[in-house]
A and B are shown apart, each in its own frame.
Chain A
Amino acid sequence: MVNRQPVVAVIGAGIAGLEAARQLAALGYKPVLIEKSSATGGHVAQWNRLFPDMTPAADVIEPLRAQTAGVKTLLGTEISAINRLKDEYNLVLSDGSSLLCQAVLFATGFRLFDASKKEEYGYGIYDRVITNRDLEHWFNTREDQRIRQPKAVGFVHCVGSRDLKAGNTQCSKVCCITAIKQAIEMKEEFPDAEVYCFYMDLRLFGKKYEDFYIKAQRDHGIHFIRGRVSEVGEAIDGRVVVKAEDTLNGKPVKVTLDLLVLMAGILCNPDAQRYARETGVAVDEDGFLKSRDNLAAITESSRPGVFFAGACTGAKTVPETLAEARSAALAIHQYFSKRV
């Protein structure tokens, strides 16, 4: 390894990949970012503002992009196959080229649950049912025919999360706080609207999240109803009728809404699961990639030279993902230092 700059293939150029690549370059390695879409930034780049300080997503993405400008980045590139060699990995890319690297970092992120699978909520069937991502898209572009001066807006937490039947028993962790953020934003946008959040539990674990919740209650009068929405139907005027049990009251409730937002949960990116098989690293029982140790070595796989950062090992917030990316870069550094 002496006199040679080790190459690290970073799969995915979302915030985890960008931050890790930045750190790896600073440590003297040669990261190569491989991104299947046509731009870097991943999911965060498609978001509008971020909790809990309403930071514009661009404030996170733009510095990361600027600081990784010198890193070799392959956009619109997928990985056709991964071959394991002795101490090295050979990645066959969709453009026909191949990349020989000494370490692989999975920064493959997550995929949002396909809300149309929960047919009882009517996504893709009723006009007034949208997802958290659709709403962020509207915040960014103001283009969505389904959002027209709503007088009543509902948010359904845990869509495709904590749902054995939907194939995902995990808590997606960031949707509670995202729902509260989006509920506040809708209330700011449409002050006369009644806004309802239907939740099973409110899991507001992070820094300042609980304050955000108090703000939603006290300053914006958002109604929180503890109960999982059981079904959604369409009224004759095109609005949607939502049914749930108000479990604190022990009585069924129903409400007619102009807009219903489904908080689609977080699943492991299926591409990551395929790459994991080819690389020889395990997938954990929860469907996310399996770390060598879920407490002490979350960024390391059970295979030498293969590392993880961000949501490929489970739902993460932005600061958690960035911290993990740095941690993974350090783990890679230690891996090479031992090999020299």
Chain B
Amino acid sequence: MDFGFKLSPSSAVNLDTVDRRRYDRLVQLQPDALTCIGCGSCSATCTSASWTGMSVRKVLLGLQRGRDEEVDKMLSGCMLCGKCTMVCPRGINTRQLILTLCRLDKNGEVVR
């Protein structure tokens, strides 16, 4: 039925119910991921960002806000060149982080 308008699902993030299992497992395997300050150096230097929307900063944030689909879409744009690792001021091994993430499913289980 067409009402002449439609409602989008709420984009608000409810931290009470958000599923952080994949993030929790990631930081267990790679605790340096906890120290991200969201500076955006990784995204600024990313070779594929302008074509694919890849951003390590957004990946880490998306994981903490339960946005797995967006995360996986971004990850698929990564070429593993490793430039983000070179510029991270906190010394996070972002390239390794991406590889680790690709091994985890939505529930945080190591599947690959």
Mark A residues whose CB is within 8 Å of B: 196, 214, 217-218, 221, 223, 226, 246, 248-249, 251-256
Q: A217-B34, A218-B31, A246-B65 are in contact. Are A252 and B12 (CB under 8 A)?
A: yes
Which residue of chain A has its CB nearest to the CB of B62?
A249
How many of chain B's residues touch chain A, expressed as a range? 20 to 34
When the two chains form their complex, are residues B13 and A214 in contact, meaning their CB atoms are under 8 A apart? no
* Nearest CB on B from A271, distance (A): 40
Residues of A within 8 A of B11 (CB): 251-252
Distance A256 CA – B15 CA, assembled complex (angstroms): 8
Distance A12 CA – B12 CA, assembled complex (angstroms): 49
Mark B residues whose CB is within 8 Å of A: 11-16, 27, 31-32, 34-36, 38, 57-58, 61-62, 64-65, 90
Distance A157 CA – B19 CA, assembled complex (angstroms): 26
* Nearest CB on A from B56, distance (A): 13
When the two chains form their complex, are residues A251 and B15 in contact, meaning their CB atoms are under 8 A apart? no
When the two chains form their complex, are residues A253 and B13 in contact, meaning their CB atoms are under 8 A apart? yes
Q: A251-B11, A253-B65 are in contact. Are A221 and B27 (CB under 8 A)?
A: yes
When the two chains form their complex, are residues B16 and A248 in contact, meaning their CB atoms are under 8 A apart? no
A-B contact pairs, 29 of them (CB 8 A): A214-B35, A214-B90, A217-B34, A218-B31, A218-B32, A218-B35, A221-B34, A226-B38, A246-B13, A246-B65, A248-B38, A248-B61, A249-B61, A249-B65, A251-B11, A251-B65, A252-B11, A252-B12, A253-B12, A253-B13, A253-B15, A253-B65, A254-B13, A254-B14, A254-B15, A254-B16, A255-B14, A255-B15, A255-B16
* Nearest CB on A from B38, distance (A): 5
Residues of A within 8 A of B90 (CB): 214
Q: What 6 pairs across the A-B complex have the smallest Cβ distances?
A: A255-B15, A252-B12, A253-B13, A218-B34, A217-B34, A256-B16
Beyond contacts A246-B61, A249-B58, A252-B11: 8 other A-B pairs, Cβ-Cβ < 8 A, are A218-B32, A218-B35, A221-B27, A248-B38, A251-B13, A254-B16, A255-B15, A256-B16
Which residue of chain A has its CB nearest to the CB of B67?
A249
When the two chains form their complex, are residues A252 and B13 in contact, meaning their CB atoms are under 8 A apart? yes
Distance A251 CA – B64 CA, assembled complex (angstroms): 13
Which residue of chain B has its CB nearest to the CB of A222?
B34
